[in-house]
Structure 1
Amino acid sequence: MLTSFLIIFVLLVKKAIPSPASPLCSSEPPTPATTPSKSCQIAWATEIHLLNSRYPNITLPESWYNMVLRTPDTEVVTQIQFDDIPANASECQLELYLPETDMMTAHGPNPVIDIRQVSREPSAPATYETFVGHNTSENDTFGSLNLSPPQVRDYKKGGNRISINRTPCNKTLTFQVSFATPGEESPNYWGFVNVNPPYNPFQGWRITHSC
């Protein structure tokens, strides 16, 4: 099974080159975002870590590969951090620039993703033990995504950009992305390379603010 995921990873990386590091809650499903005003500012993810249940106390090397996996006995969570948001920013909105179908892999019996906002210092340890899905006091869902093929097609009808939810701006904003439930017959899996401009095609997580 792990060999299959590694093969998928290699194929995806060949199609897109990840950028180097640079760059309230609602139960309603996310919707395709409207085109932002030209005055809107965009902050792209500055740090991405994979939190792996097989290595619960280890901060794995930074990765620009967005991978979410859940089976009855294994879970991989993606943590995304933005650390370049201006002090005068307002109306911060988390968005996903959805990759083209041939540049991401999504499958499983229950392909529903939960996004949670967490408070983390820049470059703080990112281990599976810090995943807030374990802590009911921080377990509020910031947004959800249904990655079933029909729903993905609906998202793409309004363009590849999906609005997740809004949050008060802060210099550092951090989110954790995980599957809502484990796959039983087969794994729930979602993977793609997060690509920031000036590389193309740009895809992945970003914050739109100050519109």
Structure 2
Amino acid sequence: MNSRYPSWEQAPLHGQKDFFMLLRQRADTFQVATQVQFSNLQDNVPPDSKCLLQFQLPTKDTQNTLGTQPIFNVYQVAREAGVPAMWNTYEPAVIAVKNGTVPVFGQVNGTLEAQQRTWNETAGLVEIGATDCNGTLTWQMGMAYDGGAEVNYWDFLGVDPPLNPVQGLRVITGC
């Protein structure tokens, strides 16, 4: 989801095959956000189960991070299964225009120090948050802070799912 290209009818600046990319210069100038969606979750899940969103950090050679605060917020949003992600439906931007705020579901710190600590403590696995399971769960992610002169940026380098080694977002279900 690219703030310069709010819908699919416009040519995107970055490729549509990028699995994961987040960028923020300033909130009012330029941002790239990402949406992830998991569907058919209730097919094999007992009623009243919780779904835990996790983020497996990529290895150093399969990612690119820049800026002083490559920290991203995760927002849980309601979307129909299969609906394309576009900037004009990126909830934090839409609601910010109306002077509101979207509750942050979780946050991931991509600074090199935080990533190293996460690798040392939990083998690179970040638990973002838990929610009630339903058929389709959707989250949107965007950089939490302006980058200013140094753009805050994070992406996975040239990968398409399935990823090897395992990296990215996943949902774990249980009671």
Identity of aligned residues (%): 33
Aligned to 2:137: 173
Among 46, 50, 57, the alignment partner of 1:91 is: 50
The partner residue of 1:185 within 145, 149, 165 is 149
- Residue 38 of structure 2 corresponds to which residue in structure 1? 82
**Higher relative contact order structure (alpha carbons within 8 Å, sequence separation ≥ 6):** 2
Q: 1:124 aligns with which of 83, 86, 92?
A: 83
Query: Where in structure 2 are the equivalents of 1:5-154 lying within 5 Å?
Result: 51-58=1-8, 63-72=17-26, 73-87=29-43, 89=45, 90-134=49-93, 135=95, 139-154=102-117
Q: Is contact 1:112–1:180 with CA below 8 Å preserved after alignment?
A: yes
Structure 1 length as normaliser, TM-score?
0.69
2:42 maps to a residue whose letter is P
Q: TM-score, normalised by structure 2?
A: 0.82
Gaps of 5+ in 1: 1-50
Q: For 2:89 and 2:145, locate their aligned partners in 1 and report how far apart those are by CA, in whole Å.
A: 18
Q: Deviations over 1:177-202 (max 9, x none)?
A: 10012211111100013643xx5212
Q: Contact 2:108/2:126 (CA < 8 Å) preserved in 1?
A: no
Q: Is the 8 A contact 1:92 1:169 kept in 2?
A: yes
Query: What's the C-alpha RMSD, in Å, of the aligned pairs?
Result: 2.0
Number of aligned positions between the proteins:
159
Matches of 1:75 and 1:181 in 2, distance apart?
A: 11
Question: What CA deviation, in whole Å up to 9, does each residue of 1:123-174 have, x standing for no partner?
Answer: 2242101111121556000001111111111110121221110000011100
Contact between 2:55 and 2:127, CA under 8 Å: does it hold in 1? yes
The unaligned stretches of length 5 or more in structure 2 are none
- Equivalent residues of 2:115, 2:124 under 8 A apart: no
Evaluate the alpha carbon distance shift between residue 83 and residue 92 of structure 1 in structure 2; reply closer, same or farther with a 3 A threshold.
same
- Counterpart AA for 2:34: T
